[in-house]
Amino acid sequence: MPALRCLFLFLCCGLLSLPAFAQADDPYAARQARTEWFRDARFGMFIHWGVYAIPARGEWVRNRERLSLADYQPYVDAFDPVDYDPRAWAKAAKAAGMKYAVMTAKHHDGFCLFDSKYTSYKATNSPAGRDLIREFLDAFRAEGLKVGLYYSLIDWQHPEYPNVGNHPMRGNPGWEGKTFDWDQYVTYLHQQVEELVTGYGKIDILWFDYSFGEYKGEKWRATELVEMARSHQPHILIDNRLGGDMEAAEPEPYAGDFEGPEQIIPPGEVLDERGRPIPWEACITLNNDWGYSTNDDYKSARHVIHALVNCVSKGGNLLLNVSLG
């Protein structure tokens, strides 16, 4: 009888542990487990805010107007956000029913709102004089909201980021023939991401932006980047903008945990090639630009509510962007 009891307990323990073993061997199951809270959240706040709020012509002002670093510097010198109040933002997000928020730690202009030791181009060296990301994280966590950080893969101020794609200096005669150390730039990118996932407590989402042309996937050393982030924070969710294909039957290791259609809502549930649901969020602006612009139009409450219902009815989230001046 004792032997039968031991056998029974052994079998029960084995059966109870099967899901864990199955999950470890099944990337889809592992992703479903990681994203459970995200798939239940449905509504989040996206915050685009930085130096580009001062010229107030959108976050792509350097690109659109081909501004050099010298042209842009007066806005950095004037960056003194005396009315910065993330506690008020967090309370507003919670009151609106949002469950999480994502803020721009570094946008394409390369200016860091966090205190990175790898650059002097940051808020702590501006009139702001403090780590604005830490204040954001503290405020939103205090309201019980999940927190995410947006990090631009491209960087218009870094001397080793090449003059390609949408770089403000593309076509500039002074940049013709210039050589770049790509490995040095990608190392810088990895170093800064590691700062974010090791120096600020629990981060729920890493929101990368963006890949294009040949600058995608392993060009960013994407597998290494994801493995590093997960080594510090195994629970962290990562978006799909490193360049992989989440809808493939066998996605790349860096394909991401959720898709992020921009300014559009999918016509129906998002599925992979095997017919399995994929977590997703539609990131949509409250106005037209992502960053603050004085010449902008805002969507009506009716429009926003309809977008939220549309997303939720199809199994997705709405990440509603607010552009702060």
Extents of the domains making up the chain: 27-323
What is the arithmetic mean of pLDDT over 247-265? 97
Q: Tell me the three state secondary structure of residue 206.
A: strand
Where would I find the H helices in the chain?
2-25, 27-34, 36-41, 61-64, 69-77, 86-95, 132-142, 182-198, 222-232, 301-313
Is 27-323 CATH 3.20.20.80?
Answer: yes
Read off the pTM: 0.92
- For the packed helices 182-198 and 222-232, what is the interaxial angle rounded to 10 degrees? 20
DSSP class of residue 102 equals: E
pLDDT tens, residue by residue, 220-250: 999 999 999 999 999 999 999 999 999 999 9
Residue 120 burial by Cβ neighbours in a 10 Å radius (0-12, 13-18, 19+): exposed
Q: Does position 64 have pLDDT exceeding 90, yes or no?
A: yes
pLDDT tens, residue by residue, 25-36: 799 999 999 999
Q: Tell me the three state secondary structure of residue 281.
A: strand
